Amino acid sequence: MAQLSDDCFAFGGSLLGIDAARAMIFERVTPVAGIERVPLRQALGRTLAEDIAAPIAVPGYDNSAVDGYAVRFDDLHADRATTLRCVDRIAAGHDPAGALGPGVAARIFTGAILPDAADVVIMQEDCERDGDLVTIRPGIKRGANTRRAGEDVARGTIALTAGRRLGPAELGLLAALGFIEVPVRRRLSVALLSTGDEVREPGERLERGQIHDANRFILAGMLERLGVEVTDLGIVRDDQANLGNVLRQAADGHDLIVTSGGVSTGEEDHVRTAIANHGSLYFWRLAIKPGRPVAMGQIGATPLAGLPGNPVAALLTFALVARPMIEALSATTPSVARRFRVVSDFAYKKRAGRREYVRVSLGPAAAGLARATRYHKEGAGMLTSLTETDGLVELPEETTRLEPGAEVDFVPYNELI
Ligand code: AMP
Ligand code: MG
């Protein structure tokens, strides 16, 4: 049943492989975003525009990693307890009285300056305190529980390189280095629209044959996570002339256009024709499942990602096509979704020549690897197949069948979106 029309080769001609499509994206899409300086608190999700050299060392001084007692290692007996007199008390943010003399200890707290000559800190849990004497068990290593100046970041080294997307940890590092603002790429502006005469806004009453727009919410969510400014152009009817006008207007003043629906070969699929009429089409079919109909091109000089209408396919092709386009436009270091080995507990047959993605949930480990269970509904329109699973098993082009127990690559959703 429907085998032929479901066959990726049924339309004749060859399909573009995902790796070739990705290479084409990075070849054709060049950075547009200029550079601006923004306060650190506004830099989350932005792309770093320049390498950042450390103006100071982090930490800036030798200090204690624990609450305890700073001593000279050579004062400790190797094979029995050592009792020393406490001569100083050094809290974080305060100076030691001076260098630590021989045969004495200093009470010290986490983050406090390690006095000169002290080269080890013993955790308070490993000491016994009696008046101003402290007794230390043997067995500690020289340097233990100390942090050396510059051990995190040495002054002058490159702490972050241009192209890095700034997440919470990167902002923390920049703050530790003392930056109050940071050079980032201008925020991209992206026009987003859905196509389809059947597609209606959530909240609208549905007539027979109509559906609510799910894709624009999926895609806007993914776009916003990538830190771009989204212009929501709503839903566009399946009308060639109107779609062409909307796309030409969107091309003005946006860095990228993202559409969903209308990219297959049906007569009502107008996106591809609109791209061909008002710009140029680079590809419109990929050798993947789900998501074969996906177009990339440009309207005027503005790149466009024409994603499929089925929500699962829209989400996947956003990750595979639109996201690299955004990275190329914003000079962001391309992200590569990490794959993890898991064991499939299902059998699967596929065609050679296309990459397939199977929605799965992960279960308890078998033979040290997590077990992947296929979702019981498989249509590319099934939204619950996304909300009820953990990620995708990726089956390479050359695979034709999978037996239960086989090791496969798993991509968690958070590596994609
Ligand atoms: P199309 O690619 O336009 O032929 O659409 C393929 C399938 O996806 C059809 O069942 C559409 O009704 C559905 N679809 C298209 N756009 C959306 C959307 N924005 N939200 C949810 N489903 C959609
Ligand atoms: Mg449609």
Average pLDDT score over residue span 178-191: 98
Q: What is the C-alpha to C-alpha distance for residues 193 and 258, in angstroms, rounded to an integer?
A: 7
- The rounded Å distance from CA 245 to ligand 2 centre is 18
pLDDT of residue 357: 97
Average pLDDT score over residue span 369-384: 95
Instruction: Determine which helix (DSSP H) or strand (DSSP E) holds 190, and give its type and residue range.
Output: strand 189-195
- The rounded Å distance from CA 198 to ligand 2 centre is 8
- Is the pLDDT score of 12 beyond 60? no
Question: What three-state secondary structure class fits 408?
Answer: strand
Nearest atom in ligand 1 to the alpha carbon of residue 266 is 4
Q: Is the dihedral of CA 264, 261, 241, 323 positive or negative?
A: negative
pLDDT of residue 332: 97
pLDDT of residue 265: 83
Report which protein residue has its CA nearest ligand 1's atom 17.
309
- Is the pLDDT score of 6 beyond 60? no
Pocket test for ligand 1, best of 5, 6, 192, 199 (most atoms within 8 A of CB): 199
Average pLDDT score over residue span 300-318: 97
Average pLDDT score over residue span 93-102: 98
The confidence band for 266, taking pLDDT boundaries of 50, 70 and 90, is confident
Q: What is the C-alpha to C-alpha distance for residues 360 and 370, in angstroms, rounded to an integer?
A: 11
pLDDT of residue 268: 86
Closest ligand (CA of 218): 1
pLDDT of residue 163: 98
Average pLDDT score over residue span 296-310: 97
- Is the pLDDT score of 345 beyond 70? yes
Contact 324, 22 (CB under 8 A): yes
Closest ligand (CA of 210): 1
Share of the chain above pLDDT 90, in %: 93
- Is the pLDDT score of 13 beyond 60? no
The confidence band for 9, taking pLDDT boundaries of 50, 70 and 90, is very low
Average pLDDT score over residue span 29-58: 96
Question: What three-state secondary structure class fits 12?
Answer: coil
Beta strand segments in 16-101, E: 35-39, 52-53, 63-64, 68-71, 82-90
Using CB distances shorter than 6 Å, the residues near ligand 1 are 194, 196, 198-199, 211, 213-216, 260-264, 269, 308-311, 381
Residue predicted with more confidence, 367 or 204: 204
- The rounded Å distance from CA 360 to ligand 1 centre is 23
Closest ligand (CA of 217): 1
- Is the pLDDT score of 10 beyond 70? no
Q: Residue 312 to residues 133, 205, 261, 382: CA-CA distances in angstroms?
A: 68, 24, 12, 7
Report which protein residue has its CA nearest ligand 1's atom 23.
309
- Is the pLDDT score of 246 beyond 60? yes
Pocket test for ligand 1, best of 6, 206, 215 (most atoms within 8 A of CB): 215
Give the tens place of pLDDT for each residue, 384-416. Answer: 999 999 999 999 999 999 999 999 999 999 999
- Is the pLDDT score of 4 beyond 70? no
Give the tens place of pLDDT for each residue, 147-158. Answer: 999 999 999 999
The DSSP 8-state label assigned to residue 319 in this structure reads I
Quick one: how many helices (H) and strands (E) in the chain?
8, 28
Average pLDDT score over residue span 41-65: 97
Report which protein residue has its CA nearest ligand 1's atom 15.
309
